[in-house]
Amino acid sequence: MIGVQKGGCASRVERRTLSAYRSREIKECGIVESSFPTGALVPKAETGVLNFLQKYPDYDGRDVTIAIFDSGVDPRATGLETLCDGKTLKVIERFDCSGCGDVDMSKKLTPDEKGNFKGLSGRTLKLSPELIALNTDKDGAVRVGLKSFNDLVPAMVRDNIVAQAKLKSWNKPQKTATANASRKIIEFEAQNPGEASKLPWDKKIVKENLDFELEMLNSYEKLYNDIKTSFDCVLFPTDNGWLTIIDTTEQGDLEKALRIGEYSKTHETKNVDDFLSVSVNVHDNGNVLEVVGICTPHGTHVASIASGNHSSRDIDGVAPNAQIVSLTIGDGRLDATETGTALIRGIMKVMDLCREGRRIDVINMSFGEFSNWSNSGRIGELINEVVNKYGVVWVASAGNDGPALSTVGTPPDISQPSLIGVGAYVSPQMMEAEYAMREKLPGNVYTFTSRDPCIDGGQGVTVCAPGGAITSVPQCTMSKSQLMNGTSMAAPHVAGAVALLISGLKQQNIAYSPYSIKRAISVTATKLGYVDPYAQGHGLLNVEKAFEHLVEHRESKDNMLRFSMHVGASQDKGIHLREGVQRKFVDFNVNIEPVFFNDKEADPKDKFNFNVRLNLIPSQSWVQCGSFLDLSYGVRSIVVRIDPTSLQPGVHSAVVKAYDTDCVQKGPLFEIPITVVQPHVLENVQSTPVFEPTTQRADKSVEFQPNTIQRDFILVPDKATWAVLRLRLTDPNRGNDIGKFFLHTSQLLPHQSCQKLKTMKIICVNSEFEATEAFPVKANNILELCIAKFWSDLGQSHLKYSLEFRGVAAQNPNAYVMHAGRGIHPLEVGVLVAEEIQPLLQLKNAAVVLKPSEAKISPLSATRDVIPEGRQIYQSMLVYNLNVAKAAEVALYAPLFNDLLYESEFESQMWMLFDVNKSLIATGDAHSHNFYTKLEKGEYTVRLQVRHEKRDLLEKIAEANLIAAYKLPNMLALDFYDSYNQCIVSGRKFTSAKVRETNKMLYIAPIAQDRITKANLPAQCAWLSGNLVFPKDEAGRRIALHPFTYVLNPAEKKAASNGAANGGSSNNASPAAAAAVNANAAKPKAQATPQGATNTANSAGGDADTLQKEVPANASGGAPSSPQKGKTSADDYAESLRDFQCSHIAKCELEKAEKIYNEVVAAHPKHLPAHLQFIQNIESTELKTQLPLAFVAAHQKRSSVGDDGSVDKQRDDNNQKQRSALERIVKLADIVIKETDADALLSYYGLKNDTRPDATKIKTNMDKQKNNLIEALSKKGIAVAKLCVLEDNLKEHLAELNDIYTEIIKFVDANDSKAIQFAMWHAYAHDHYGRMYKYVSKMIEDKRTRDHFEELAAINGALGYEHTKAVIDRMTVTAFPNSFRLF
Residues classed as catalytic: 70, 298, 488
**CA 958 – CA 953 distance, rounded (Å):** 9
- Residue 405 class from Cβ within 10 Å (0-12 exposed, 13-18 middle, 19+ buried)? buried
Of 943, 925, 948, which Cα lies nearest the Cα of 875? Answer: 948
Q: What's the one-letter identity of residue 408?
A: V
Strand partners, 785: 712, 745
- How far, CA to CA in Å, does 970 sit from each of 415, 845, 967, 1015? 46, 10, 9, 7
Query: How would you list the strands of the sheet with 854-859, edge to edge?
Result: 854-859, 874-884, 938-948, 908-915, 920-924
Residue 1364: CB partners within 8 Å, gap ≥ 6?
174, 177, 216, 217, 220, 1356
Torsion of CA 1152, 1156, 1157, 1159, to 10 degrees: 140
Please name which of 147, 149, 130, 140 lies closest in space to residue 108, comparing C-alpha atoms: 140
User: Which residues are CB-neighbours of 717 under 8 A, at least 6 positions away?
Assistant: 682, 685, 689, 779, 780, 805, 807, 832
Cβ atoms < 10 Å from Cβ of 937: 12
Rg of the Cα trace of the chain? 38
Axis crossing angle, helix 1129-1145 with helix 1150-1163, rounded to the nearest 10: 150
Helix, strand, coil in percent for the chain, rounding step 5? 35, 25, 40
User: Got the DSSP string for 318-375?
Assistant: SSTT-EEEEEE-EEGGGTTEE-HHHHHHHHHHHHHHHHTT----EEEE---B--S--S
DSSP 1232-1258: HHHHS-HHHHHHHHT-S---STTHHHH
CA distances from 79 to 486, 568, 1010, 1353 (A): 21, 49, 68, 46
For residues 1153 and 1182, is the Cβ–Cβ distance under 8 A?
A: no
Cα–chain-centroid distance for residue 923?
Answer: 5
* DSSP track, 688-750: --EE----SSTT--EEE-TT-EEEEEEEPPTT--EEEEEEEE--TT-TT--EEEEEEEE---T
Residue 710 near residue 702 (C-beta atoms within 8 A): yes
d(CA 1282, CA 1182): 13
Q: Could you please report the per-residue DSSP string of 1181-1207?
A: HH-----HHHHHHHHHHHHTS-S-HHH
CA 55 → CA 52, 60, 308, distances in Å?
Answer: 5, 11, 20
SS3 track for 935-952: ECCEEEEEEEEEEECCHH
- If phi > 0 it is left, if psi is from -120 to 50 it is alpha, else beta; for residue 382 that is alpha
**H or E segment and range at residue 614:** strand 611-618
Strand 420-426 and strand 393-397: the pairing is parallel
CB 43 within 8 A of CB 429: yes
**Cis (ω within 30 of 0) for the bond into 411?**
yes
CB-CB contact of 416 with 438 (8 Å): no
Q: How far apart are CA 813 and CA 817, in angstroms?
A: 9
User: What pairs with residue 944 in β-bridges?
Assistant: 878, 911
Locate all alpha helices (DSSP H) within 370-486, ordered by sequence.
Answer: 378-390, 428-433
